Amino acid sequence: MTKIGFDSEKYLFMQSQKITERINEFGGKLYLEFGGKLFDDNHAARVLPGFEPDSKIKMLSKLKDKAEIVIVINSVDIQKNKVRADLGITYDQDVIRLIGIFRSYGLYVGSVVLSRFDKSNEPAVMFKKRLEKLGLKVYRHQVIQGYPNDLRSIISEDGFGKNEYIETTRNLVVVTAPGPGSGKMATCLSNIYHDLKRGIKSGYAKYETFPVWNLPLKHPVNVAYEAATADLNDVNMIDPWHLSAYGVTTVNYNRDVEIFPVLNALFEKILGKSPYKSPTDMGVNMAGFAISNNEVCEEASKQEIIRRYFKALENERRNNLDPDESQKIEHLMRGLNVSVEDRKVYVEALKKEQKTGVPCSAIELSDGTIITGKTSELFESQSAVLVNAIKYLAGIPDEQKLLMPERIVPITELKVKYLDSKTPRLHIDETLIALSSSCASNVSAEKAISKLPLLNGAQMHTTVLLPHIDAKMARKLGIVVTSSPVYEDKTSKL
């Protein structure tokens, strides 16, 4: 059984309560900049076992009567067809996707803001028209010269003043975006400026899950966040402003600490007085208070750091990059006295490969059982280990074959003769299709297939790089996979 280290119900209650308190502090209207993922937050779910991937949007659903969503997209990203790497879709496509998901939770999407808008940007102009045809309000925000340092220009009619005012009707305005660099903070500050001109009291707060401000700087949960952002060169650090103001040590990350003096000056210029003494003050994150088993979260976070390390090695190998990211994560691992040998499935897969002389895989199930599989003439090792795992879960003897060779060989011949496949061996999707086609005549196959949901959250390692199709299928099944940075037809490592 998977160990739980985070109380999701407690978190939902405390988080919604904290946001409501912050709304009241500002006299009834709050612009809340939402960082990270509102749903599908699998990183949080991995390092805080018990955190539900859609916890944030569930929390917002509790506030749906007082909340509205404003989505910000950088017009330059539209023009460049910027793609979300995790989803493989462009940022403008993701805006449409986000709107649909928010609405499915009963949340009101008030408008979309096109930041850094220029009328010569034809793709952005066309996207504006598309949104308006869907019945959405669209606002245009201009490039402000000197942002964020030239306060005199920013806090003027030629700065925020030339941005279109976002008409909102709710007390909580959640400002989110399809990705970083979209202009969420500038959007919040711009509307606060316009609110003040209209005699409306409003304020700003920020919601980021990581780093967790009330955990130690070198707590594995916070180190795991640093590993996750190693490619961005973000670092966690003690918030010096908070320490100076209150004598209390809290954790923030470098970009928020660096921008705080500027943001503080902007608040003073707009409101006459800044409501905050530190970057930590701006935040409303309560995740640290909902950790119910610190030991479980520490171990899960260490495993996530190892996973990030293997992911960095894979990216560097596939793209022939210098090992900057992996070396940074390796340094973080050393700081926690963690190594790849602490990942059990890595050790077991490597043992199996050394014994058999072929690429192998290992998978750890929720009860701690580790199952292995090897590459054969008919199956890739990742397919073999998956079949072995669901057989185990279904109580089917290891020696009993679910797929007879005479059913598989025609598929392998088809792949090579007619589909120009590089290998006749079956990938995960092909294996599952072949297995499902046997269900009508094979009760054991049907029983094994029914156990696939139990693989959600399982840990897996392959001794060679996974083809993209297998990596995609593993994600769909909820399996957390790492791979050694070795191509199947080569033996050299980084």
DSSP assignment of 91-152, as one string? HHHHHHHHHHHHHHTT-EEEEEEEET--TT-HHHHHHHHHHHHTT-EEEE----TTTTT-HH
Q: Please tell me the distance from the alpha carbon of residue 141 to that of residue 478, in angstroms, as a whole number.
A: 40
Per domain, the residue ranges of the chain are 8-290, 343-483
Under DSSP, is residue 205 helix (H, G, I), strand (E, B) or coil? strand
C-alpha closest to that of 174 among 118, 116, 105, 127: 105
Does the structure show a pLDDT above 50 at 432? yes
Q: Please tell me the distance from the alpha carbon of residue 398 to that of residue 384, in angstroms, as a whole number.
A: 12
DSSP letter assigned to residue 403: S
Q: Please tell me the distance from the alpha carbon of residue 439 to that of residue 378, in angstroms, as a whole number.
A: 20
Average confidence score pLDDT of the chain: 92
Does the structure show a pLDDT above 90 at 85? no
Q: Is the dihedral of CA 377, 380, 381, 387 positive or negative?
A: negative
The CA-CA-CA angle for residues 397, 448, 369, to 5°, reads 65
pLDDT above 90 covers what percent of the chain?
A: 76
Q: What is the pLDDT of residue 68?
A: 96
Cβ proximity of 26 and 201 under 8 Å: yes
Give the number of other Cβ atoms within 10 Å of residue 179's Cβ: 15
The architecture (CATH level 2) of 343-483 comes to: 3-Layer(aba) Sandwich (3.40)
H-helix or E-strand spanning residue 481: strand 480-483
Q: What is the pLDDT of residue 438?
A: 85
Six token digits for residue 259? 């921008």
pLDDT (mean) for 40-51 = 92
pLDDT (mean) for 132-139 = 96
Q: Is the dihedral of CA 464, 468, 469, 470 positive or negative?
A: positive
Six token digits for residue 322? 């210098």
Q: What is the pLDDT of residue 255?
A: 85
Under DSSP, is residue 230 helix (H, G, I), strand (E, B) or coil? helix
Does the structure show a pLDDT above 60 at 493? no
Tally of residues, the chain: 494
Q: What is the pLDDT of residue 491?
A: 40
Backbone angles phi, psi at 461, to 5 degrees: -135, 140
Q: What is the pLDDT of residue 416?
A: 80
Under DSSP, is residue 480 helix (H, G, I), strand (E, B) or coil? strand
pLDDT (mean) for 125-137 = 96
Winning range, highest mean pLDDT, from 81-95, 258-272, 362-376, 395-409: 362-376
Cβ proximity of 88 and 46 under 8 Å: no
Q: Who has greater pLDDT, 33 or 494?
A: 33
Six token digits for residue 102? 């928010």
pLDDT (mean) for 457-474 = 95
Does the structure show a pLDDT above 60 at 413? yes
Alpha carbons within 13 A on the beta-carbon side of 245: 13
pLDDT (mean) for 154-173 = 94
CA 437 to the chain's CA centroid: 35
Does the structure show a pLDDT above 70 at 296? yes
Q: What is the pLDDT of residue 123?
A: 97
Split at pLDDT 50, 70, 90, the class of 494 is very low
Q: Is the dihedral of CA 297, 298, 303, 307 positive or negative?
A: positive
Q: Please tell me the distance from the alpha carbon of residue 406 to that of residue 214, in angstroms, as a whole number.
A: 60
Does the structure show a pLDDT above 60 at 406? yes
Split at pLDDT 50, 70, 90, the class of 492 is very low
Q: Is the dihedral of CA 463, 464, 470, 471 positive or negative?
A: positive
Q: What is the pLDDT of residue 203?
A: 93
Cβ proximity of 306 and 20 under 8 Å: no
Tell me: the pLDDT tens digits for 355-378?
A: 999 999 999 999 999 999 999 999
Does the structure show a pLDDT above 80 at 166? yes
C-alpha closest to that of 384 among 327, 428, 443: 428
- Least trusted range by pLDDT, from 247-261, 375-389, 458-472, 479-493: 479-493
CATH of 8-290, one of 1.10.3720.10, 3.40.50.1820, 3.30.70.60, 3.10.630.10: 3.10.630.10
pLDDT (mean) for 36-46 = 86
Split at pLDDT 50, 70, 90, the class of 411 is confident
The CA-CA-CA angle for residues 403, 408, 413, to 5°, reads 175
What b/e readout covers 336-355, taking b as 16+ CB neighbours within 10 angstroms? bebebebbebbebbbebbee
251-253 and 83-84: which strand pairing?
unpaired
Does the structure show a pLDDT above 70 at 303? yes
At 458, the amino acid letter reads A
pLDDT (mean) for 181-199 = 93
Same topology for domains 8-290 and 343-483, yes or no?
Answer: no
Backbone angles phi, psi at 318, to 5 degrees: -65, -35
Q: Who has greater pLDDT, 249 or 259?
A: 249
Which residues, including other chains, have CB under 8 Å from residue 85's CB and lie 6 or more apart?
A: none
H-helix or E-strand spanning residue 371: strand 370-374
Q: What is the pLDDT of residue 1?
A: 64
